[in-house]
Amino acid sequence: MTKNWLITGASSGLGRGLTERLLARGDAVVATLRKPGSLDDLKTQHGDRLKIVACDVTDADAIRAAVADAFAARERIDVVVSNAGYGLFGAAEELSDAQIERQIATNLTGSIQLIRAAVARLRLQGGGRIVQVSSEGGQISYPGFSVYHATKWGIEGFVEAVTQEVAAFGIDFVIVEPGPTRTNFGAGLDRAAPLDAYDGTPVRELRRTIDAGYFELADASKTVDAMLAAIDSPSPPFRVALGRSAYESVRTALAKRLAVLEPQKTVALSVMERA
């Protein structure tokens, strides 16, 4: 059975790949993007099964209008994919106020506002699925990506809470956590002006690694296939780690947290009013 989808940030990367795959198999997509034109080839090929809506996810009113357009255009939206986002690199001290505000407005506040608008519509139609594209950076951290991590950790916490709020309405969530993937993420990376004080620090080492392209990258097409398999599943995992880096890094981080927490049990319980 064909499905109707709403996908933000569909102009490139995983959003574009997912849109292409869905249209090729016969589904209908409402795709949002900041700048028109990047999906014209798909519109020519697939016609009315692709509706393109201009939307800057830093604008809450634009998000609500785009969601309203999507639900008005289709009898039902089965899956909403919150995919719009980008990366910001630099030591916390190096970042400008404007860079911090834009990162939070795009990755965190924009995703929150999209989910809020979608939940209201999905609840009225009797359910649906929301997919939040996060990152391995929603559970681990690298030096130089502090505010990016703040947005990814933040949106994952938001989704965990909202999942509990709306389960009774037939709405569920999937959080997708890709590791480094061969998309345009690196090309779109916003960078802070470097301070000499950080020469010789892990921030500079990671900058050189990024510049040299030494990351092991996952295949974008395979990543889209794995995303789609999880989203199509009647009972998908709540979190889907994609790529060797994502699996190994998240697994290691979780094990370290448990190793720190477990010895604290006696102290933790000692502060209770009743033993």
Could you give the residue numbers annotated as active site?
Answer: 134, 148, 152
Q: Which of 39, 166, 45 is nearest to 115 (CA)?
A: 166
The separation between CA 127 and the C-alpha centre of its own chain, rounded to angstroms, equals 21
195: amino acid identity, one letter: L
Task: Say if residue 29 is exposed, middle or buried (CB neighbours under 10 Å; 0-12, 13-18, 19+).
Answer: buried
CB atoms within 10 A of CB 252: 11
Alpha carbons 17 and 24: distance in angstroms, whole number? 11
DSSP 184-198: STTTT-EEPPPPGGG
Contact 133, 176 (CB under 8 A): yes
- Per DSSP, helices labelled H in the chain are 13-24, 40-46, 60-73, 97-103, 110-125, 146-166, 202-212, 220-232, 244-261, 265-270
The separation between CA 201 and the C-alpha centre of its own chain, rounded to angstroms, equals 29
CB atoms within 10 A of CB 49: 16
